Structure 1
Amino acid sequence: MKSFIIFLFLVFPVEAFRPTLLLGNLIERTCKQTPFYDLCIWSLKSNPESCNADVKKLAQIMVDSLKTKATDTLDLIDELLEDGLALDPAMRRALTSCAERYNVIIRADVPEITEALKTGNYKFAEKGTNDAAIEANSCEMEFPGKSPLTDMNKVVHDVSVVAASIVKIILNS
């Protein structure tokens, strides 16, 4: 019996029996199937809800992250618009358009994606996450010159793409 236990530890390292490492493996396997591995890993591992998550829950965590990042971006847009004296008309138009786009992400896309994940309509959830990525890119293109939102638009785009990739994993399984 003792030799059997020693054999098990040789064949299966102790780490294999730790649930958190098994979860880490799920997160890592999932994130390897996305185009932004580091962002995916950071987003999922920084959320305590990922501890007991399946792939569907990992997708929802990314959608929640999308909502947070989009809300942060909209808050910055609102601050920039309030500082109207410093803005030329082209910048004001671009920011106003971006505010509309981010409102769509927060008030339409995210709730629709969440509902689609709950009901198992994964194709619709994938479409919604891709739409959010397009909205962020479209915001960036609104600016005639340098955008004050470049970094935030990129993060929203990339988080959306990671969410879409995770939903696609569900679709293909």
Structure 2
Amino acid sequence: MGSTIFLFLLLSLAFPHCIFHQPIVFVNGDMRLIQETCKNTKYYDLCVSSLKRNATSTKADTKGLAIIMIGVGMANATATSSYLSSQLFSTTPNDPILKKVLKECADKYSYAADALQNSVRDLGTESFDYAYMHVMGASDYPNACRNAFRRYPGLAYPSELARREAGLKHICDVVLGIIDHLGW
């Protein structure tokens, strides 16, 4: 099972668009653990729908479900970093401040993905406190991006970025709820 989860995480980093554009596939199997696990999270519907999209989730234990959700978060953070990097190239060269802020934000989302990757390692060694800490860090990196926009009153925080920020924070909240449950 460990190699399957690692392969999923590797593929979700290489092909993050696959995570976001897959239709929901309802897997035949016991959904009880998914539902019970998701009841311990802040965003039950997000948790259940995200886990239902992954065929291996019905065979996973609680730690495996956390790792699957971390993969969803990594894909989100990586896709957002890529989105921001693409915005750097489409921004006019006459706006160096916007380019600087977009670069800073792209870096912050990349750091969020790295923090989530570290949480997978921590879960593997059952260092739940460290995993929790890394997920909290990943959840907080978007705040640094928002603050970068606030430093320059002429820059408006893009609604697309606000949507992506909320998505990553919600995913991280789900993961934190699952990790809390692991520590029992």
1:54-69 matched pairs, under 5 angstroms: 54-69=61-76
CA distance in 2, matches of 1:37, 1:29: 10
Which protein has the bigger helix share? 1
What is the CA distance between 1:86 and its match in structure 2?
A: 7.1
The C-alpha deviation readout for 1:39-88, integer Å capped at 9, x for no partner, is 11111111111021110000000111111111110111011001131773
CA distance in 2, matches of 1:54, 1:86: 50
Matched with 1:11 is none
Matched with 1:101 is 108
Aligned length: 151
- What value does the CA root-mean-square deviation take over the aligned residues? 1.7
Moved over 6 A (4+): none
1:5-16 matched pairs, under 5 angstroms: none
Matched with 1:121 is 127
Matched with 1:24 is 31
Identity rate, percent: 28
Are 2:117 and 1:111 aligned? yes
Matched with 1:41 is 48
Give yes or no for contact 1:70–1:105 (8 Å, CA) kept in 2: yes
CA distance in 2, matches of 1:59, 1:41: 12
Instruction: Identify if the C-alpha distance between structure 1 residues 35 and 86 changes in structure 2 by more than 3 Å, giving closer, same or farther.
Output: farther
Matched with 2:168 is 156
TM-score by length of 2: 0.76
Whichever of the two has the greater Rg, that structure is 1
User: Counterpart of 1:53 in structure 2: which amino acid?
Assistant: A
CA distance in 2, matches of 1:82, 1:151: 21
User: Counterpart of 2:164 in structure 1: which amino acid?
Assistant: M
Matched with 2:177 is 165
The unaligned stretches of length 5 or more in structure 2 are 1-27, 151-155
Matched with 1:146 is 157
Give yes or no for contact 2:112–2:139 (8 Å, CA) kept in 1: no
SS state at 2:82 partner: helix
TM-score by length of 1: 0.80
Give yes or no for contact 1:137–1:154 (8 Å, CA) kept in 2: no
